[in-house]
Amino acid sequence: MRKRGSSFRDFDRLLFAAPLVIFLLGIVTIYSASFKSHQTIDQSLAVRQILWMVVAILMAALVARSDYFKLQDIAWPLYLVSLVLLVVALLMPARLGAHRWIGFGSFNIQPSEIAKVSVILLLARFFANNRYEHLSAARKLYPFAVTAVPFVLILKEPDLGTGLLLLPVLVSMLYLWGFPKRKLLWMAAAGAVFAPVLFFFLKDYQKARLMVFVNPNADPLGAGYTIAQSKIAIGSGGLLGRGFRGGPQNYLNFLPERHTDFIFGVVGEEGGFLVSAALIALFAFIARKGYEISAQTPDRFGSQLACGITTLISVQAVINLGMTMGLLPVVGVPLPLVSYGGTSVVVTMFAVAILLNIKMRRPLF
């Protein structure tokens, strides 16, 4: 193999454009979902989100101009920093019953978002530099330990949804590494067997969400209220939607968390089936491109990195879309680049920039 230079001839414009289109749709939806007639422009959540996106694009430009092989050098430092930030977040005053954010004036950062990417970087580095068949039994536990530490810290916040995202990322990268399929199946079977036991360790509101998923009519005015309103909003949008600020579930405040976790309800109500389907198609496009990059990258670090990043973005989108439509339990996972959240936007664009970088600079046979 020979290494390619920094030419932008292989810059994937469509892969760069897709997340930007998703973000623009998100900005319109955030503005509609958080609109208040008396607020000034600087108080608008949409403007704050745009400022975060500016930061994200600047960071993405720096990442795209660098050699992605150098990311191996920052894998451990970034991982350790993310763990420190997770601990700091746990020591911060609770907001909405959770310790997920660290405040800096009017802005907040969510360390769990940084932790997700740091785990992918560290796992990719390990898988690239170690063959499964050459490792001792103890050494083979390294990927599980690396994932378990932030997983436990994130669960302590508590943030079950974000913590669970680390599991499919780990499994996909283990599979690509050559981890025995039989062992992966045994792990999945063990997880299915012990899942009912884990139910008793969940918080009361988490148990209520699962019970509502099993029986949507169990608590229509409590734990089931948000999902019921989300399904009403999506269904009422019809084919073409009710138009900007035209959905009663949104502007009459029937739908809670409509600018964060349940923003797809507003997309469905105001944009209808066509806009919703276009949004899903854009996420599917990013997933296809990401896995193609992983499959076509000959060096193991780049291939693992692309696999982990693509799995993270894809699974997060699927979980959010599924829970807002009542197809999956509510776990509090935002829709990438659409839901309001500065840290999520920056981290997601950082991840997309890495995919673009790998596509441009992957070695040639």
Percent share of the chain, pLDDT over 90: 51
How high is the pLDDT of residue 227? 87
CB atoms within 10 A of CB 103: 12
Whether 5 is covered by a domain: the verdict is no
Mean pLDDT for 280-291 is 97
When pLDDT is cut at 50, 70 and 90, the band that residue 67 belongs to is: confident
- Interatomic CA distance for residues 231 and 237, integer angstroms: 10
Whether 141 is covered by a domain: the verdict is yes
Whether 6 is covered by a domain: the verdict is no
Give 243 or 202, the one with higher predicted confidence. Answer: 243
Residue written as token pair 């009422």: 236
CB atoms within 10 A of CB 275: 18
Least confident of 23-27, 65-69, 75-79: 65-69
> Does pLDDT of 3 surpass 60?
no
Total structural domains within the chain: 1
Residue 230 makes CB contacts below 8 A (sequence gap 6+) with 255, 262, 264, 265, 324, 325, 326
Residue 268 makes CB contacts below 8 A (sequence gap 6+) with 233, 234, 235, 237, 241, 275, 276, 324
Domain containing residue 259 = 13-35+43-361
How high is the pLDDT of residue 94? 81
Whether 349 is covered by a domain: the verdict is yes
Whether 93 is covered by a domain: the verdict is yes
Whether 1 is covered by a domain: the verdict is no
> Does pLDDT of 27 surpass 60?
yes
Is pTM beyond 0.75? Reply is yes
Does residue 158 have a cis bond before it (omega within 30 degrees)? yes
CB atoms within 10 A of CB 59: 15
> Residues 131, 135, 141, 145: what is their CA dihedral angle, to the nearest 10 degrees?
-70
Q: Tokens standing for 247?
A: 């959905």
Taken in order 346, 314, 289, 297, the sign of the CA dihedral is positive
Residue 11 makes CB contacts below 8 A (sequence gap 6+) with 64, 356, 359, 360
Q: What is the pLDDT of residues 242-279, one digit of tens each?
A: 888 888 888 778 888 888 889 999 999 999 999 999 99
* β-bridge partners, 95: 98
> Does pLDDT of 6 surpass 60?
no
Decide: 333 and 261 in contact? Cβ < 8 Å: yes
Mean pLDDT for 307-325 is 95
- Interatomic CA distance for residues 326 and 223, integer angstroms: 13
Q: What is the mean pLDDT of the chain?
A: 88
Three-state secondary structure call for residue 100: coil
> Does pLDDT of 199 surpass 80?
no
> Does pLDDT of 42 surpass 70?
no
Decide: 262 and 255 in contact? Cβ < 8 Å: yes
Whether 2 is covered by a domain: the verdict is no
Burial class (CB in 10 A: 0-12, 13-18, 19+), 166: buried
Mean pLDDT for 62-69 is 86
Burial class (CB in 10 A: 0-12, 13-18, 19+), 7: exposed
Least confident of 183-192, 200-209, 265-274: 200-209
Whether 77 is covered by a domain: the verdict is yes
